[in-house]
Structure 1
Amino acid sequence: MIRLLGKISSINVRKVAWTCAELGLPFEREDWGKGFASTQTPDFLALNPNAQVPVIIEGDRVLWESNTICRYLAAREGREDLLPAEPWARAQVERWMDWQATDLNMSWRYVFPALARGEPPNPDPVQIAEAAAKWNATMAILEDHLAAGGGYAVGGAFTLADIGLGLSANRWLRTPIEHPDLPAVLAYVERLRSRAGALFDVT
């Protein structure tokens, strides 16, 4: 049984939970992070010196970094539909996984915590507007890509890349900012909504 350490409000924890659901892997999730068990304790830091979630534990094996965990689990289960073995095909999946974890995640770093979680409690309206515009511009990149492709991050089939992108698109839609018309993104979220483990009811 996999132990998954991390609170469900973390998009990175939800990546791992969704991956486990796609793979049919049972897991037990434990609440760690702000508002729950502290990640600053010596015991947790021995698992992940970065004091961040998620962390998975399998017997004496410990792994952190959400994309690495998802790649490991898919490869371990031999799910080449989710993560191809062929280098070029795999790179197409990993490119969008890494884009989600870097460019897309960075675009909402100020506006999402401010509007959805009240952090900081008195946000700067100028920074809110600038950050929302940046987030929308980054989402427009995903819009153009989805509109030109087969409905998923890599053509016409669901892969690991769609897990992080789908959760991010859902977060964008649920955050109270002005949203431009991105029909391909809207259709994408609806397409993913019925998949096991999508967890789209959490922002």
Structure 2
Amino acid sequence: MPDDKGQITIWGRANSVNVQKVLWCLRELDLAYERIDAGMAFGRNHEPEYLAMNPNARVPTLVDGDFVLWESNSVMRYLALAYRQDSPIYPQAPKRRAAVDRWLDWTLSTVQPVDRPVFWALVRTPAEQRDMVAIQKDVDAEAVVWQVADAQLATRRFIEGDDFTLADIAIGAYARRWLGVQGVSKPALPHLERWFAQLADRPGFQQFVAPPMS
């Protein structure tokens, strides 16, 4: 098992949802790391040094010794496999692991596309520039996706059963955005809200995901 004391570096700004996922994961796994601001106001992600690590110019990027990895869900999987193989956060049994993996994929294929227009409109666009009619249509489309998660959580403590997993981190980081935006009409999702209240008690969530959105 690799040494977990200080060789991990995460490039990325703290207000990126994908960076937040990785930082939360690191906290859950109790791994030491260094973080370097990059992206948006901090720049650096289009500089040659960064592009040599991540040609997509996005964040986060992980550097672990001489190993470089991008894509936040892949980074979380790697950290669990490389450092905490015995942790239930990423189960070893093939069926249980595949069940977690599908939700990691779901956040990218299904949640992120409907989350982005709502988040940018309500958090990163000045109020006077918002088209609230168009935004509500986007909110309605996103609500359909969150109803899937709400139904899943009707009979489970966490996304995939009794254990907290990487699926809860990935979906939880986006749920914070969905539940946190104001000024629009959203359906009641009681199972999602009950689950989210559990996540809110976790130190990693409190440190990296709970701060005001920006």
Q: By the TM > 0.5 criterion, same fold?
A: yes
Counterpart check, 1:49 vs 2:55: yes
Counterpart check, 1:90 vs 2:97: yes
Contact 2:22 2:72 in 1 (8 A): yes
How far does the alpha carbon of each residue in 1:151-191 deviate from its partner, in whole angstroms, 9 at most, with x for none? 21101111110001111111111112222111111111110
Note closer, same or farther for the CA distance 1:62–1:21 as it changes in structure 2 (3 Å cut). Answer: same
How far does the alpha carbon of each residue in 1:109-135 deviate from its partner, in whole angstroms, 9 at most, with x for none? 212101111179734434312111011
Match of residue 22 from structure 2: 16
Match of residue 37 from structure 1: 43
Q: Considering only aligned residues, what root-mean-square deviation do their CA atoms show, in Å?
A: 1.6
Match of residue 140 from structure 1: 147
Contact 2:115 2:174 in 1 (8 A): no
* Off by >4 Å, runs of 4+ in structure 1: none
**How many residues align structurally?**
202
Q: Residues 122-201 of structure 1: matches in 2 within 5 Å?
A: 122-147=129-154, 149-176=155-182, 177-198=184-205, 199-201=209-211
SS at match of 2:116: coil
Give, in whole Å, the separation in 1 of the partners of 2:62 and 2:107: 21
Counterpart check, 1:5 vs 2:11: yes
Give, in whole Å, the separation in 1 of the partners of 2:89 and 2:113: 25
How far does the alpha carbon of each residue in 1:13-43 deviate from its partner, in whole angstroms, 9 at most, with x for none? 0111011001100111111000013311111
Give, in whole Å, the separation in 2 of the partners of 1:183 and 1:170: 14
Contact 1:114 1:121 in 2 (8 A): no
Q: Unpaired segments of 5 or more residues in structure 2? A: 1-5
Contact 2:140 2:186 in 1 (8 A): no
Aligned-pair identity in percent equals: 37
Q: 1:104 aligned to 107, 111, 116, which one? A: 111
Match of residue 121 from structure 2: 114
